[in-house]
Amino acid sequence: MENKNKPKIAIVSLTSCEGCQFALLDLGERFLQLTEMVEMVDFRLIEDEEDAGVKLDIVFVEGNPMTKANVKTLKEARKRSNLLVALGNCAAMGGIPEIKNYHEKTNTIKHVYKYIQGIQNEEVKEIDNFVKVDFTFPGCPINGEEFLKYLPELIAGHIPIIPDSPVCVECKKAGNRCLLLDKKPCFGPMILGGCNAVCPTSRMVCQGCRGLRPTGNVKAMRATLSQMMSDDEFENTTEIYGLRDDIEESMR
Amino acid sequence: MLLKINHIAKMEGHAGFMASVIQGDVKSAKLEVQEGIRLIEGVLVGRHYRDMPVVAQRICGICPVVHNLTSIKALENAMGVTVTPETEKLRALMEYGQIIHSHALHLFFLSLADFLDMDNDIKLVQEYPEETKKAIRLREYGMDIVRVIGGRVVHPLTNEVGGFKKAPNSEALKKLLADSEKTLQTAKEMGEFFRGIRIPEFYRETEYVCLQKNGEYGIYDGDIVSNRGFHIPVKNFETSFHELQRQQEVIKRVEHNGESYMIGAIARININRDKLKSEAQKYLTSLAWKFPYYNPFGNILAQMTEVIHAVENSMQLIRELLNSDLDQVVTKDYAVKEGTGAAAVEAPRGTLYYHVDVDAKGYIKNVNIITPTAQFLSNLEDDIMAYIPSIIDLKGKDREKKLRAFIRAYDPCISCAVH
């Protein structure tokens, strides 16, 4: 696999469902073509060999740093790589596991385990609390097509910019009837597009897994949504993908 | 002597392995889990039931469909919500799609290299380009089923309590049907290829457990049965199967009558083989297994048999759905009610069990999720203890390879097991 001319790339998986990695693998033959373009280092899903810690061009990180070993892996990944890229909602925004921060915090464990001594149970923190993140592929899971679109730029050493456009643009293009018109609490207008509006196309409301768009009007959106859901329901929904803290900040 | 593997690649999630052997006696064998705790059951407590399938399916990126389906069924049982036969068929089809793509991944990309004595899949892909294409084609067929019905492969979107947010496009279903004949041919060719690999000889008796339903191969529905004549409804699962946590362990183990037991493809084939569709039956017969078949490496060929069966069964389900009124799958109004519900669905790796308590306003009071890997973990370790003496005289690296191959044949999913 050694090839000096090909850029070296690794995918590091912290505590997660590994769904972002599967969103890549599920590209099938196009994923295999990708592995010919770059040198995949330590790709756990396809090889057994442990890597020797070579210098990397790009490291992609999915999941949450939940254990001391996860934090160590994350910091080492940063050290050995030119670019570090967050892969998906957990790494970027805390994801599903971060729900616990908003409620019972580390006490959440009592619903699950009888013996809690010796089990690592910190509050959930996004990876940028530990290392510098150069770029984020948002989403739960990431959009494989978007990955293929921006990868060449990253390989060239440029940081791509995802256009500041709401989910609604792609939703309209897909010919969907607006869920808000049916009084369904869709977050689309304030959320960063680029997902092909995959949720509203399936009549599932957008719950914001890609995060707020830079110039979205959160206050106006909250006023619109208040006709369709209570404040409690709104708050709970924003917790699913770790959006709540970002919304609170933008409302200040 | 300590046998230690720091990290086992090519499986879902993170784990290593450690065994201790003293003067030829295997004293202990243990899968060492390196996954953090996400506390999915804990974060669900106090949330509205509508969030449960969305949150719970994110336990696993390979098998979100089965977490989605099982959580929805448990909620429907808790609130007394009934669904149409069309909805049940569409869900069963989705689960078959899930099984096809998960098995195809495990069979070819995660496990096959072990049986051909190769280090990585890059070599595998180079040496077997035709088979690689076939494996991808099979996987894509399974993924297409999930995509057409669920709107997306990883973390599907349409399925909810009461039915579906949207009926699948009938043109897309027709295209799936048109692909099915060719896919069945591909599955049979893949089966021939896998029949040629050498399965190591190792046998240890155990109890096999899975779902069983009258007249069909139990996947989406059924009672809990075992090859030892045990038979209970799913709602009694927790009174017979005991979940226990050892100190400092993040995977809870499950015992039946104080002993380990086995689930997944090999259990289903052992118990339900007479319900397989015709081509899958033929394939299984060609393997000339003597039942009960107690070789855990046989899980690979059991999965291969299930892929053939799943393609045949999917074809039948698609035909039936195309001849019915697809709009019947769309969710109708239902009442939110207080209650307790349990449900089980056969995941690729075995029976997935959910239990949920919902209050009168639809908020979740309590959840328990028992995953396949948590159930077979003790059986895996018991098997390995019995397996080690046969490989103990090999050189360090060769021995380690055998251990990795053994663990991978089980197809463990550590993300599911810890959740």
Residue of B nearest to A48 (CA): B9
Cα three-residue angle A127-A17-B39, rounded to 5 degrees: 80
| All residues at 6 or more sequence positions from B259 whose CB lies less than 8 Å from its CB, including other chains | B207
ipTM field = 0.96
pLDDT per residue as tens digits for the range A81-136: 999 999 999 999 999 999 999 999 999 999 999 999 999 998 999 999 999 999 99
When pLDDT is cut at 50, 70 and 90, the band that residue A61 belongs to is very high
Mean model confidence pLDDT for chain B: 96
Q: What are phi and psi of B33, to 5 degrees?
A: -85, 130
* C-alpha distance from B9 to closest chain A C-alpha (Å): 5
Q: Which of A61, A65, A210 shows the shortest CA–CA distance to A123?
A: A65
Torsion of CA B73, A108, A122, B34, to 10 degrees: -40
Helix (H), strand (E), coil (C) string for chain B: CEEEECCCCCCECCEEEEEEEECCEEEEEEEEECCCCCCHHHHHCCCECCHHHHHHHHHCCCCHHHHHHHHHHHHHHHHCCCCCHHHHHHHHHHHHHHHHHHHHHHHHHHHHHHHCCCCEHHHHHHHCHHHHHHHHHHHHHHHHHHHHHHCCCCCCCCEECCEECCCCCHHHHHHHHHHHHHHHHHHHHHHHHHHCCCCCCCCCCCCEEEEEECCECCCCCCEEEECCCCEECHHHHHHHEEEECCCCCCCCEEEECCECCECCHHHHHHHHHHHCCHHHHHHHHHCCCCCCCCCHHHHHHHHHHHHHHHHHHHHHHHHHHHCCCHHHHECCCCCCCCEEEEEEEEECCEEEEEEEEECCCCEEEEEEEECHHHHHHHHHHHHHHHHHHHHCCCCHHHHHHHHHHHHHHCCCEHHHHHC
Q: Which residue of B has its CA nearest to A117?
A: B248
Nearby residues of A99 by Cβ (< 8 Å), 6 or more positions away: A239, A240, B43, B47, B55
> Quick check: B60 contacting A, CB < 8 Å?
yes
Distance from CA of B136 to the nearest CA of A (A): 6
B residues 97..156 contacting A (CB < 8 A): 105, 109-110, 113, 119-122, 125, 132-133, 136, 139-140, 143, 150-155
Q: Which positions 385-404 of B are in contact with A (Cβ < 8 Å)?
A: 404
Q: In chain A, what are the domain boundaries?
A: 8-155, 167-251
Three-state DSSP class for residue A122: coil
Instruction: For residue A17, give the chain B residue with the closest CA.
Output: B60
Q: Tell whether A37 is within 8 A of chain B (Cβ).
A: no
pLDDT in tens, B230-257: 999 999 999 999 999 999 999 999 999 9
Best residue in A90, A112, A235 to probe B by mutation, most B CBs within 10 Å? A112
Question: Nearest CA to CA, how far is A148 from chain B (Å)?
Answer: 17
For B2-418, CATH gives 1.10.645.10
Contact B10 A1 (CB under 8 A): no
Q: Which pTM does this prediction carry?
A: 0.97
Cβ separation A111–B45 shorter than 8 A: yes
Cα–Cα distance, B408 to B110 (Å, whole number) = 7
Q: How many CB pairs under 8 A join A and B?
A: 175
Q: In chain A, whose CA is at the least distance from the CA of B247?
A: A115
d(CA B275, CA B284): 12
**CATH architecture for residues A8-155:** 3-Layer(aba) Sandwich (3.40)
- At B306 the pLDDT is 98
pLDDT at A2 over 60: no
CB-based contacts of B205: which residues, under 8 Å, 6+ apart?
B292, B294
Nearest CA in chain A to B46: A103
Among the ranges given (A24-33, A193-202, B71-80, B370-379), the one the predictor scored with the smallest mean pLDDT: A24-33
pLDDT for the residue numbered A3:
54
Of A17, A25, A47, the CB nearest to B120: A47
Whether A18 sits inside 8 A of B45 (CB atoms) is no
Cβ(A97)–Cβ(B38) below 8 Å: yes
Contact across the interface for B246 and A115, Cβ inside 8 Å: yes
CA–CA distance, A210 with A141 (Å, rounded to integer): 9
CB < 8 Å to B59, chain A: 17
| Contact flag A45-B36 (C-beta cutoff 8 Å) | no
Structure tokens at A198: 């995959």
Is the pLDDT confidence value at A51 over 70? no
Task: Give residue A46's pLDDT.
Answer: 73
Closest by CA position to B152, among listed A143, A87, A112: A143
Residue B175 vs residues A70, B145, B318: alpha-carbon distances, Å: 44, 10, 10
Residue B226, min C-alpha distance to chain A (Å): 28
A117 contacts B247? CB cut-off 8 A: yes
Q: Which residues of B touch A50 (CB under 8 A)?
A: 6-7
The per-residue pLDDT for range B355-380, each reduced to its tens digit, is 999 999 999 999 999 999 999 999 99
Pairwise CB contact (< 8 Å): A109 & B54: no
Residue B243, beta-bridge partner list: B254
Q: Which residues pair with B12 in a beta bridge?
A: B413
Mean pLDDT of A5-28: 92
User: What residues in A contact B139, CB-CB < 8 Å?
Assistant: 28
Top residue of B155, B159, B245 to mutate, by most chain A CBs within 10 Å, is B155
Tens of pLDDT, residues B44-68: 999 999 999 999 999 999 999 999 9
Question: Which residues between 54 and 73 in chain A have a beta carbon less than 8 angstroms from any beta carbon of chain B?
Answer: 64-67, 69-70
Domain ranges in chain B are 2-418
First to last CA, chain A: 52
Average pLDDT over residues B260-279: 98
Q: Work out the minimum CA distance from A1 to partner chain B, whole angstroms.
A: 8
The answer, for B62 touching chain A at a CB cutoff of 8 Å, is yes
Which of residues 200 through 229 in chain A touch B, CB cutoff 8 A? 201-204, 207
Q: Which two tokens stand for residue B79?
A: 């609130």
A19 neighbourhood in chain B, CB within 8 Å: 58, 60-61, 64, 154-155
Residue of A nearest to B60 (CA): A17
Question: pLDDT tens digits for B180-232?
Answer: 999 999 999 999 999 999 999 999 999 999 999 998 999 999 999 999 999 99
Position A1 scores a pLDDT of: 46
**pLDDT value at position A230?**
95
Instruction: With CA atoms as reference, report the closest residue to A140 among A183, A95, A85.
Output: A95
CA distance B275 to chain A (A): 31
Which residue of A37, A96, A122, A210 to mutate against B (max B Cβ within 10 Å)? A96
For residue A18, which residues of chain B lie inside 8 Å, CB to CB? 12-13, 60-62, 415
Q: Does B34 touch chain A (CB under 8 A)?
A: yes
Residue A36 near chain B (CB below 8 Å): no
For chain B, give the percent of residues with pLDDT over 90: 94
A116–B contact, CB cutoff 8 A:
no
